[in-house]
């Protein structure tokens, strides 16, 4: 049985996955981390948790927070981010610019890529860098 909470996929297989697939998975990973962060830090009342989550996972917020960790990326991580960012979006949400949406997609691809390798410690490092000034 596959353990979907502790995946470890080799890099060759990762390279064969679509960038949008990585971003789709990374979006869920990032949102789960934000939800956990909100609950653990008491950042929102129970009735406001959804609204608070949306505030942090929206493309403009992701793009802004990505700048906090850009300098921490390895060359390989930067390459994965760039692949995700350069994926041509089918549509862009009204609340985001094309550049913001593409940056958010790159971030999500990176988070999906790290998740599939079982690199939870690295995900936590990058997430902490994104959220540290918010405490």
Give the residue from 101, 110, 27 showing the smallest Cα distance to 59: 101
Give the residue from 74, 63, 84 showing the smallest Cα distance to 14: 84
User: How far apart, in whole angstroms, are the C-alpha atoms of residue 126 and residue 131?
Assistant: 9
Does residue 27 have an active-site annotation? yes
> Which residue in the list 10, 12, 27, 88 is annotated as catalytic?
27
- Write out the catalytic residue numbers: 27
């Amino acid at each position: 049985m596959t353990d979907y909470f502790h995946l470890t996929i080799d890099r060759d297989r990762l390279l064969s996955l679509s960038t949008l697939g990585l971003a789709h998975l990374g979006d869920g990973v990032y949102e789960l981390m934000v939800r956990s962060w909100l609950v653990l830090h008491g950042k929102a009342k129970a009735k406001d948790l959804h609204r608070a989550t949306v505030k942090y996972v929206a493309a403009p917020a992701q793009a802004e927070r990505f700048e906090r960790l850009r300098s921490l990326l390895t060359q390989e991580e930067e390459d994965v981010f760039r692949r995700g960012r350069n994926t041509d979006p089918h549509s862009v949400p009204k609340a985001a610019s094309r550049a913001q949406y593409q940056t958010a997609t790159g971030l999500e691809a990176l988070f999906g890529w790290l998740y599939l390798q079982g690199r939870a410690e690295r995900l936590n490092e990058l997430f902490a860098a994104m959220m540290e000034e918010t405490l």
